[in-house]
Structure formats: C-alpha cells, structure tokens
C-alpha cells in the first residue's frame, strides 16, 4: 500500500471540524477507496482551546496558517478560513509555491485570484481543487472539468445560494414578508448576522464567475456580472408570479452570445412546471446546456457543514488516488495562461420577456400614458392587468412583455417616472426559459 497522504487543515469552524471528523472517523473506508491512508497531521485555527468535537491530539498545531502551508510536513493544504485576501490568500499561495496540493472552499478567493493561483499550481504540477466552493455538496466542478469532455457548453445557470432560496420558498409557502423570513433564516443559522453578501447576490456572483470560466474558457471576471438581490421582492410579486404560472428564484445565468459572454444574477420568474422551480429551501441546483448531452441538471444540498465537508473530502480523496508523475488536468479546464480575456456581451433581447409591477396614481389617462411609453420603446405586451390597491389614491398595474431588451424596459419605466404617474419604484423581474 502507498504511503499515507498527509493533510494540513487551516480553519476549524463548522466545515473544517466536519472535514477533520470525516477523515478520522472514515479512515477505513477512505483507505479502501483511495488505496492509501489519509491522515490529518497539522491544523491551524484562531483558538487552540476550543472544543470542536473531534480529537486532533495527533496533529501538530500551528498558530500561523501560512507557516503550516509552507513549512509543515504535509502533502495537501486544506484552506477553510475564508476571505479573498489576508491569511487565506497568503497560505494558499505559499502551499502551491512549496509544491503542495491545495483544496479550498473559498469562492471569494477564487473569484478574485483564481487564475493567478491556477498558474502557480500548473507550473508546480500540483492540484488546486475547489469542489466545495460552488454549490456545496453538488459535484458540479468535477462534472464540468471531467464528465463533460468533448461537450461545448452554451449556457449554465442555477440556484447557487441556499439563503436566498430558503427565503423565497418560505415567502411563497407561508405568505410572510421578506424581513420576517430573513429574521427566521438568521435565527436558524441559514443567514449570517450581516446577510448582505447573500441577499444582494454577491455570493451567487462569485460562484457564477467560476462556472463561467469552466464553461467558456475565459478568465474569471466577477466584477463584470450584472447583479440584483432579492431584498426588494414583496408578497405582491410572489402572488402575481403564482397567478401567472411562475415562481420567483434568484438565478445566476451565464451564456455564450454572438457578442461575448453574458453573466447575470437577479430574481427571475421561472415556469412552475419547470424542474428548477421545484428546488426548494436551502437546496441548490445547477443546469448545464451542451451540444452533445443536451441539458443536465444537478441538484442537492448547497450549504452546511456536512455538505461542504463531503465536497472537500472528495477533493482530498482525488488527490490520494493520484500517483507521482501523473499529469494533472488544468485547474479551470483550460491551461490558466490560455484562458481568454472575458468579453462582456452587448445588451440583447431577452427571450423570456419581463414582469413589470407598477404602483400608479389612480387618475384618468395613466393607462394610456403607460401604453404609449411601452410602444415608444418598441415593447410588445403579452398582458396588462390593473388591480385595486389598499389606498383609494393609487392602483397596481402588472405588465408582462414579449421579448425585449433590458435597456428598452428601463427607458420606458424612466419615462413613466418623468410623466409623474409612479408612486413607487417599478419592480422589474426577468422571465426566464428554464428546464
């Protein structure tokens, strides 16, 4: 039997402690599956005294994770500290430059520095594995890097944030407000004390940028992603979507177009009969559209200690199965130096149309003015519905458009504001073709 694979773990929070526990408790199974033992020989965390529910007495303690990464007697460095800069970046870079394999769940680090780190890994001939960075326990990275060889990807999209999906699911099921749902999510541990990163779509954007690089061979460009969060979704939107045969989800979408690659994160109406509309709670789902296979949908636990630990352990096991002299595949499917510069797609027509909810003054001529603004911007309407509001001074108008552009919709609603008919900011939600 080959020598044991020596693992060092930096970060012993929920995920790090779960990884250590699995590696220790599943020693026999992992040895059988990998053909060699896997041992935790070094660890680092903020507090040495904290009880993490796992016996790490056999591992050497390092106060400094960078020193662990560069100097410890290990084969694999596992980074579970988080953060795009600071110790996480320094430690991962140190490990790679020392010729050690790296496993990380850090999507923020990869979204900002992934290409540079990949160049180091490929130069040193070591692996940089990051399955846990996108969609938790769902093996989407392995699928895109390995299982879809020969396929050309045209579109990848999905539900990539469990916090947002949990909130939208409960809003629909129980008829409660966004704020009330968010408080419950925080109480249950599904949302952070400061939930901005999740609910405003930044977390989804980081994950989407990684999938985009894998799908289309471009350099990671998280800063170029169009992004909207879910904090402005109301019960009025949830109810209107249901009546129209849709369900609201926060989607990350990346697709190839004639003018470049389009990346966007925003609330989206998907048909209630679609598969992705059936993904509820903290579950994640990723759909990949290819020329050979067609559409593949992967769904499963997207967050939490066990789901993320499962992905991390899977990455470690892949390293344990590799042998000296084996030529590893590139980190992002293409050699890092050959990744193309990201070319942002031009604004184009959106095949699914738009849902537009307006709160307008209840006076003569408003309907006609709205219709004129839409016509002036070449927007064809599938339906227009007027509803009574709680106030006697205003009404709710719901528009569903045919195929049009984001620019045309924004120009039309800006014109309505100038006309003085709008009481509140218009609510605009894309209607997405989804499997």
Q: What are the respective helix, strand and coil percentages of the chain, to the nearest 5?
A: 40, 25, 35
Of the candidates 299, 320, 308, the one whose C-alpha atom is nearest the C-alpha of residue 22 is 308
pLDDT in tens, 274-322: 999 999 998 999 999 999 999 999 999 887 778 899 999 999 999 999 8
DSSP structure string for 49-89: S---SS--TTSEE-S-HHHHHHHSS-SEEEE-S--SSHHHH
Using DSSP bridges, classify how beta strands 427-431 and 260-271 pair: parallel, antiparallel or unpaired.
Answer: parallel
On whether residue 42 sits in a domain, the answer given is: yes
Tokens of 433: 């073709």
Q: How confident is the model at residue 186 (pLDDT cuts 50, 70, 90)?
A: confident
Whether 28 and 96 share a structural domain: yes
Alpha-carbon distance 386 to 109, whole Å?
A: 47
160, 125: one domain: no
Q: Examine the domain organization and report whether 55 and 183 are in the same domain.
A: no
> According to the model, what pLDDT value does residue 402 have?
92
User: What is the domain-level CATH number for residue 192?
Assistant: 3.30.360.10
236 and 282 belong to one structural domain: yes
- Is 296 found in the same domain as 147? yes
Give yes or no for a contact between 92 and 69, defined as CB atoms under 8 angstroms apart. yes
Q: How confident is the model at residue 145 (pLDDT cuts 50, 70, 90)?
A: very high
CATH number of the domain that residue 99 is part of:
3.40.50.720
* Residue 96 lies inside a defined structural domain of this protein: yes
61-68 contacts at long range (C-beta below 8 A, 24 or more positions apart) = 62/8, 62/10, 65/10, 65/11, 65/91, 66/90, 66/91, 66/94, 68/8, 68/10, 68/42, 68/43, 68/44
- pTM > 0.85: yes
120 shares its domain with 145: no
344 found inside a domain = no
- The reply to whether 292 and 309 lie within a common domain is no
Q: Are residues 295 and 309 in the same domain?
A: no
Counted domains in the chain: 3
Supply the pLDDT for residue 294. 94
CATH number for 371: 3.30.70.260
Active site (annotated) includes residue 207: yes
Nearest to 63 by CA among 87, 45, 50: 45
Co-location of 272 and 367 in the same domain: no
Q: What is the mean pLDDT of residues 256-260?
A: 88
- pLDDT higher than 80, residue 189: no
Using the structure block, give the residue that is written with the tokens 């129209």.
Answer: 244
Output phi, psi for 272, to 5 deg.
-60, -20
Residue 435: band (very low, low, confident or very high) from pLDDT cuts 50, 70, 90: low
Q: How confident is the model at residue 364 (pLDDT cuts 50, 70, 90)?
A: confident
Q: Are residues 132 and 80 in the same domain?
A: yes
Active-site position among 93, 107, 112, 207: 207
> Which of the 8 DSSP states describes residue 340?
B
The candidate with the shortest Cα–Cα distance to 164, out of 125, 206, 187, 198, is: 198
Beta bridge partners of 355: 400, 429
By residue range, what is the domain housing residue 193? 141-301
Same domain, 182 and 264: yes
Residue 390's pLDDT band (cuts 50, 70, 90): low
What is the rounded average pLDDT of the residues 115-144?
A: 95
Asked if residue 130 and residue 264 are part of one domain, the reply reads no
How many other CB atoms sit within 10 Å of the CB of residue 320? 23
By mean pLDDT, which of 183-197, 281-295, 342-356, 395-409 is the weakest?
342-356
Q: Note whether residue 343 is domain-resident.
A: no
């Amino acid at each position: 039997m080959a020598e044991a694979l020596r693992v060092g773990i930096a970060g012993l929070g929920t995920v790090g402690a779960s990884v250590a526990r699995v590696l220790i408790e599943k020693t026999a199974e992992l040895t059988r599956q990998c053909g060699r033992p896997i041992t935790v020989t070094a660890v680092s965390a903020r507090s040495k005294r904290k009880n993490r529910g796992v016996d790490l007495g056999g591992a050497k303690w390092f106060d400094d994770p960078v020193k662990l990464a560069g100097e410890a007697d290990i084969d694999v460095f596992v980074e579970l500290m988080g953060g795009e800069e600071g110790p996480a970046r320094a430690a991962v870079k140190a490990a790679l430059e020392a010729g050690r394999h790296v496993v990380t769940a850090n999507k923020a680090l990869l979204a900002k520095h992934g290409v540079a780190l990949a160049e180091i890994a490929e130069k040193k001939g070591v692996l940089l594995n990051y399955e846990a960075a996108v969609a938790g326990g769902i093996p989407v990275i392995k699928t895109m890097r390995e299982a879809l060889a020969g396929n050309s990807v045209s579109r990848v999209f999905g539900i990539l944030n469990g916090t947002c999906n949990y909130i939208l699911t409960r809003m629909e099921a129980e008829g409660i407000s966004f704020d009330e749902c968010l408080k419950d999510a925080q109480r249950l541990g599904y949302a952070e004390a400061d939930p901005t990163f999740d609910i405003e779509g930044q977390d989804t954007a980081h994950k989407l940028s990684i999938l985009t690089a894998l799908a289309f061979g471009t350099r990671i460009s998280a800063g170029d992603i169009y992004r909207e969060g879910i904090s402005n979704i109301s019960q009025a939107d949830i109810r209107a979507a249901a009546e129209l045969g849709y369900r609201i989800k926060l989607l990350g979408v990346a697709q190839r177009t004639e003018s470049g690659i389009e990346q966007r994160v925003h609330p989206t109406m998907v048909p209630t009969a679609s598969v992705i509309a059936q993904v509820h709670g903290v579950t994640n789902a990723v759909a990949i559209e290819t020329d050979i296979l067609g559409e593949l949908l992967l769904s499963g636990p997207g967050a939490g200690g066990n789901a993320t630990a499962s992905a991390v352990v899977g990455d470690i096991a892949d390293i344990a199965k590799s042998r000296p002299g084996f030529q590893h595949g590139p980190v992002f499917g293409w050699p890092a130096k050959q990744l193309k510069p990201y070319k942002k797609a031009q604004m184009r027509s959106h095949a699914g149309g738009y849902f537009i909810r307006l709160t307008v003054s209840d006076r003569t001529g408003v309907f006609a003015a709205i219709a004129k603004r839409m016509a002036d911007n070449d927007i064809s309407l599938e339906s227009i519905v007027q509803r009574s509001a709680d106030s006697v001074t205003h009404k709710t108008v719901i528009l569903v458009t045919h195929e049009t552009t984001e620019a045309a919709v924004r120009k039309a609603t800006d014109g309505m504001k100038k006309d003085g008919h709008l009481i509140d900011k218009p609510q605009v939600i894309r209607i997405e073709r989804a499997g």
